[in-house]
A and B are shown apart, each in its own frame.
Chain A
Amino acid sequence: MDISKKLKFYQSTKTKAPESAIPASLKVLQSHFNGEVVSEQAPYLKIVRAYPLDYPPSVQLNLLTKGILSTSIPLDKCLFFDLETTGLSGGTGTFPFLIGIGYFAESSFKVEQFFLPDFGREYYLFRYLDEILPQFDYLVSYNGKSFDLPLLKSRFILNRVQSDWERMMHIDLLHISRRIWKDSFENITLGSIEENLLNRQRPDDIPGALIPQAYFTYLRTGVVHDVIRIIEHNYLDIISMADLILILAKIEENPAELNDPSALIRLARLAYEQDSALYFDKVWDYFEGHHQAIPSQLLCWRSLKAKRENDWDRACTLWEELLNTQEYFYFAIEELAKYYEHKQNDFLTAQKYTQRGLKALKLVEELNPYHPDLSLMNALEKRMLRLSKKTKNINC
């Protein structure tokens, strides 16, 4: 086929492109949300809302991201996003029919939602997203690292739209939240975050698992009731992310913002791991300031911190204190034995502690012979052996 024939053919296919009239159901949604139907070739619904929210120009999430985001994050460079899809298992056949994005602008949080009323409508939307993407340097999502972003990338490829996703930093708020509230809430969903931190309920929320079927029903029947619920669901997810990132920024600044001992202990651990003494002390001060009994877990982290700082007196006092707890008894025994053996060269005292640990362990074994902690037993016995050799050497 020569070029002119080819061109004619392409032209003819272009004119054939169906002038799809906007379906009634889409018009209903449009007026309900006061939205806009975009793209005549492949119409979809665009809904823009502003969520009033005061925000600082930038936030810090250095500690909470374990130093991955060490510089301050300008909030107007963050693009929040969340998808509603036709399946939860991933793979190229899963279609994101509702794409919600949000960003801070003009002293509020703007939410743009794009509802695709049928398959094959994403091309023009993706082109639009591709255009605005360069304005942002950060992607913010909730569980987007393993679900939403791979899915979106996959759909971009299928539509042959090439975007440079790799340029952007991805802040997955789920990962940060899990780090803080793992011991506080049963599951770390956005819903539980809203309930516990934002004091927000979702009375008419549609459960995530029902969303794919609800969309299929809409496709077949044009009934919009559940679609309205899905759009609301998605909207709430996005504004909650905005609220959440501001809360996280406050926690990063001062842990006392949290009135949640379990979460505070996890923060103390994070501070210890990240070697942030200042932050650790803030957590410590919180407990002291509230005249609360200090949880043994926190004592343990504190003792390790003291050890790291070579503050041995403090460490020993803490370990002695931990000897009275059940969970950290053996930990304290081992730490004390190590301290006396290596730091003090006081083998006899070290032996005394080791002996005490072994005795306790053997008692436990007698009471419950089925689950002996063999590795601990071995470690203690080895130490005992070494110590007795060392004491002998001295005696010689």
Chain B
Amino acid sequence: MNLDQLIDYLGNDSEFQKNITKWLVFDSKAASYVDFPENLNPKLIEALRQKGISKLFTHQRETFIEVQKGKHVVVVTPTASGKTLSYNLPVFQELLTNRESRAIYLFPTKALSQDQVKEAQDLVSHLKEDIKTFTFDGDTPYDVRRTIRSAGHIVVTNPDMLHQGILPHHTLWIKLFENLKYVVLDEIHSYRGVFGSHLANVIRRLKRIAAFYGSHPQFICSSATIENPSELANNLIDEEITLIDQNGAPRGTKHFLFYNPPVVNYELGLRRGVVSEVRQIARKIMPTGAQMIVFARSRLRVEILTTYLRDVARQLHISPDKVRGYRGGYLPKERRAIEKGLKNGSIQVVVSTNALELGIDIGQLDVSIMAGYPGSVASAWQQSGRAGRRQSTSLTILVSSSAPLDQYIIQHPDYFFNKNPETAQIDRDNLPILMSHLKCAAFELPFTEEEVFAPDITPQLLEFLVDEHILRKTDGKYFWMRDIYPADEVGLRSTAAENVVIIDSGHPEHRVIGEIDLFAAPEMVHTDAIYIHNTVQYHVDELDWDEKKAYVHEVDSDYYTDAITKTDLKVLDILQETEEAYGLRKTFGEVAVARVTTAYKKIKFHTHENVGMGRVYLPEQEIQTSALWWEFPDDLFVDPFFKESVIGEGLKGIAYALHHLIPLYIMCDISDISVIPMVNDPFTHKPTIYVYDKYQGGMGLSKKLFAIDRAVLSAVQTHITTCACKEGCPSCTGPVIDGGLFGKSSALKILNMLKLEMD
């Protein structure tokens, strides 16, 4: 059975069809080829011909031309569309004419950079020119670093290394910075939130150092399909951007199936588990011999699914060795072997985390199955892009879980047909982040009085650091005055400067099983809490607050704990407010959120009986961040239906759904934001819902929400309306047990009165 026959077969399988909510077919698209640009170096043309490339895709040529004009560009392309060549062409053109020139390639992960080095080196081998491409990361041996610094034409690295290893030692990289022509930023959609905000500041530092040595590099960015690629690129590099989003790569017919597992518990709105559904689907596909990638959302899931699918293989008399797992934590050698096995066909099924989502070369497979919505449309497209050899048919199956966002997506597949609504947000002027990079920058080069690092506030920040004796101002310049190395104190990826590590003391080696940000720790891992990690229960023996460590051991308990946390939200400043229709007032401002966990309840599984209580003694924590809030006018609630408790349940229901749907519009993890409903808010004296960024100083998320709130609220309304449950379920307004009996009806009534339908 080939893939087309399999598709027919699935189409006729009524058992399977029952669960398919939508079967989208994207027609094949022929490639849009163009000739090489006239001025492309003949050596490059010859090398490309040797590689079997005699024409370019339209976007490759356009990128080349725009870069030649001196423009900063962002190329938006799906996976496997010859993106690498898009930026290699202008870079190699420059290196062939001017061998002194230099370029930096920046990739979000180490694994990706290795692949790109191979690709560039392959091009060099065809060119037969002395152009050196080196990876510079934590694994680079010390004895070759010197060579890379002076002789590497293309330095391939990651943001962390640039931040800690290169910029603070720029005098060692004088050759690079004096001749820096191009900076390639690949996969910029992954630079969002905290990571992106840090990177934007690292770029500020990079540009500053380059300017010191007299160079002004041009940026070539690439991104997956998101709503705001230019805006994101502009935020990252602070330059005017030329957008290239007309893709010329060919595509075969793509079948995109939305699979919703059957409901098993109507009352709770629970559906059959994703893992067992995927097993059933794989069983249908594996006998066809189609090569298949299964994306799971956690490392643990990868292991479970791999085990299951190996059993399936055995039952089908397929060698279980043809089924492999792939995730971070595997040894590089092992991973290379799996990538190779996928390319040469010796591996039929790979179960992976999103580690294989980004450009690692594994060739193209036939079928991509997502065990649960990967959290963003952009990711879903990238995962789906792993299936589909050019020109031939491919199949993608998205199997959704019961989570609200999964359920929303499965009922609104149009997001895949039409424009992706997701925006990637960063806040490069987030004060704590900005401040830490200002310090790094001052260490790298003294600031002058006129210099602008971040617009408007640079002088104030520098003066603050002078007052703190971190900088010294003398003769109109600001000098670093500490005996530490500031880049060591700043990690680009951590959401908080500090976190609590969770240590399994039952394990002989006291294994670290996870970490949790400081703000959430008191709730999740207070002493005597039951902490659930990857479905395993742990009892927290001690939370050592001073050392930031939680010691746990595995238990099999019949209760879970629910922390009682007092959240105190104070409005500090109102920055923007508008009156919406029907008296709904929305405000954007700064808030202080203080949280203290004082006690916890022990709640029995299944029966939800309260079987005990305990005290927690932990210090209060405060963050100052940005927030958006809506005040609901009193006249909305004249209907006697709206008893105060009912209003509360309704707001809670809206908050629950809203919280889960925000990531559809603003790319983030749901743990990056907090949504708090208040029946009688002490500040507004009205029923109010607050949404704040769970990050010191804010991350631009609630700010964006302020701009697009009607679209999001309207999605919330549609979602709750179309959900099949009666009184609310985990997929819409939250479980009845938490949300109360009126959660759904009250939420809907409130939303309906807001007249949200825009178009």
Tell me the smallest distance from the CB of A126 to a CB of chain B, in Å.
13
B446 is an interface residue with CB less than 8 A from chain A: yes
Q: Which of A212-263 contact B (CB under 8 A)?
A: 212-213, 216, 219-220
CA–CA, A291 and B464, complex, Å: 71
Let me know if A91 is at the binding interface, CB within 8 A.
yes
**Contact between B446 and A91 (Cβ–Cβ < 8 Å)?**
no
Stretch touching chain B among A152-160, A366-374, A382-390: A152-160
Of B23-31, B480-488, B498-506, the one with at least 4 CB within 8 A of chain A: B480-488
Which residue of the partner chain A has the closest CB to B483? A212
Task: Return A165 CB to nearest CB of chain B, in Å.
Answer: 12
- Whether the Cβ atoms of B485 and A157 lie closer than 8 Å is no
Q: Does A86 contact B169, Cβ atoms closer than 8 Å? A: no
Which residues from chain B contact A90 at a C-beta distance below 8 Å?
Answer: 169, 485
B441-463 Cβ-contact flags toward A at 8 Å (1 or 0): 01111100000000000000000
A91 to B445, CA, bound (A): 11
A220:B469 contact, CB within 8 angstroms? yes
> Which residues of chain B are near A216, meaning CB under 8 Å?
469, 481-483
A158/B477 contact (C-beta < 8 A), A88-B483, A119-B446, A120-B446 known:
no
Measured between beta carbons, the chain B residues less than 8 angstroms from A11 are: none
In the complex, what residues of A have CB within 8 A of residue B472's CB?
118-119, 219
Residues of A within 8 A of B480 (CB): 86, 93, 95
Taking CB atoms, residues of chain B closer than 8 Å to A95 are 479-480
B474 within 8 A of A: yes
A12 on the B face (CB < 8 A):
no
Q: B168: CB under 8 A from chain A?
A: yes
Q: Is A92 an interface residue (CB 8 A)?
A: yes
- CB pair B475–A20 under 8 Å, yes or no, is yes
Whether the Cβ atoms of B477 and A92 lie closer than 8 Å is no
In contact, B171 and A120 (Cβ under 8 angstroms): no
Contacts of B485 in A (CB 8 A): 87, 89-91, 93
Q: How many residues of B sit at the interface, in one of the four size bands?
A: 20 to 34
Assess whether B443 is in contact with A93, with CB atoms less than 8 Å apart.
yes
With A92-B445, A120-B475, A219-B472: A87-B483 Cβ-Cβ less than 8 Å: yes
- In the complex, what's the smallest C-beta–C-beta distance from A62 to chain B, in angstroms? 26
**B481 A219 Cβ-Cβ under 8 A:** yes
Q: Does A18 contact B (CB under 8 A)?
A: yes
Q: Is B170's beta carbon under 8 Å from chain A? A: yes
What residues of B have a CB within 8 angstroms of the CB of A219 in the complex?
472, 481
Name the residue of chain B whose CB is nearest to the CB of A213. B483
Q: Contacts of A220 on B, CB cut-off 8 Å? A: 469
**Does B174 belong to the interface (CB within 8 Å)?**
yes
Minimum C-beta distance from A215 to chain B (A): 9
A14-35 toward B: CB 8 Å interface, digit per residue (1/0)?
Answer: 0000101000000000000000
**Assembly CA distance A216 to B483 (angstroms):** 9
* A92 near B444: Cβ-Cβ < 8 Å: yes
B724 at the interface (CB under 8 A from A): no
Instruction: Report yes or no: B469 in contact with A157, Cβ–Cβ below 8 A.
Output: no
- Interface residues of A: mostly helix, strand, loop or mixed? loop
Residues of chain A in range 141-177 having any CB-CB distance to chain B below 8 Å: 150, 153-154, 157-158
Chain A residue at minimal CB-CB distance from B170: A92
Within 8 A of B (CB), among A76-91: 86-91
Distance (whole angstroms) from the CB of B577 to the closest CB of chain A: 43
Q: Is the CB of A91 within 8 A of B469?
A: no
Would you call B172 an interface residue if the criterion is a C-beta within 8 Å of the partner chain's C-beta atoms? yes
CB contact list, A97-127 vs B, under 8 A: 118-120
Complex contact B481–A86 (CB within 8 A): yes
CB distance from B375 to the nearest CB of A (A): 38
What B residues does A212 contact at CB under 8 A?
483
- Within 8 Å by CB of B168, from A18, A20, A92, A213, lies A92
Question: Judging by beta carbons under 8 Å apart, are B483 and A91 in contact?
Answer: no
| Closest chain B residue, CB of each to CB of A157 | B171
A153–B446 contact, CB under 8 A? no
Q: A119, B171: Cβ atoms under 8 Å?
A: no
How far apart are the CA atoms of A92 and B446 in the complex, in Å?
10
Whether B475 pairs with A89 at a CB distance below 8 angstroms is: no
Q: Which residues of A lie under 8 Å from residue B443 when comparing CB positions? A: 91-93
The CA-CA distance from A13 to B446 in the complex, in Å, is 19
Q: Inside 8 A of A92's CB, which chain B residues have their CB?
A: 168-171, 443-445
- Bound-state CA distance A216–B470 (Å) is 10
- Chain A residues with CB under 8 Å of B488's CB are 89
Nearest residue (CB) in A for B475 is A120
The CA-CA distance from A216 to B169 in the complex, in Å, is 23
Contact of B445 among A89, A153, A158 (CB under 8 A): A158
CB-CB under 8 A for A87 and B482, given A92-B170, A93-B443, A154-B172: yes
Q: Which residues of B contact A120 (CB under 8 A)?
A: 446, 474-475, 477, 479
Q: Give the distance to chain B from A280, nearest Cβ to Cβ, in Å.
A: 32
**CA gap between A219 and B484 in the complex, in Å:** 17
Determine which residue in A20, A95, A119 has the highest number of CB atoms from chain B within 10 A of its CB, and name it.
Answer: A119
| A-side contacts of B171, CB under 8 Å | 92, 153-154, 157-158
Give the complex CA separation of A156 and B574 in angstroms: 50
Residues of B within 8 A of A118 (CB): 472, 474-475
4 closest Cβ pairs, A-B complex: A93-B443, A212-B483, A119-B479, A154-B171
Q: Can you pick out 26 interface pairs between chain A and chain B where the beta carbons lie within 8 Å of each other?
A: A42-B475, A86-B480, A87-B484, A88-B483, A89-B485, A91-B443, A91-B485, A92-B169, A92-B170, A92-B171, A92-B443, A92-B444, A93-B443, A93-B444, A118-B474, A119-B474, A119-B477, A120-B475, A150-B172, A154-B169, A154-B171, A157-B174, A212-B483, A213-B483, A216-B469, A219-B472
Taking A91-B485, A153-B171 as known contacts, 5 extra A-B pairs with beta carbons closer than 8 A to each other, sorted by chain A number, are A87-B483, A92-B169, A120-B475, A216-B481, A219-B472
A residues with CB within 8 A of B:
18, 20, 42, 86-93, 95, 118-120, 150, 153-154, 157-158, 212-213, 216, 219-220
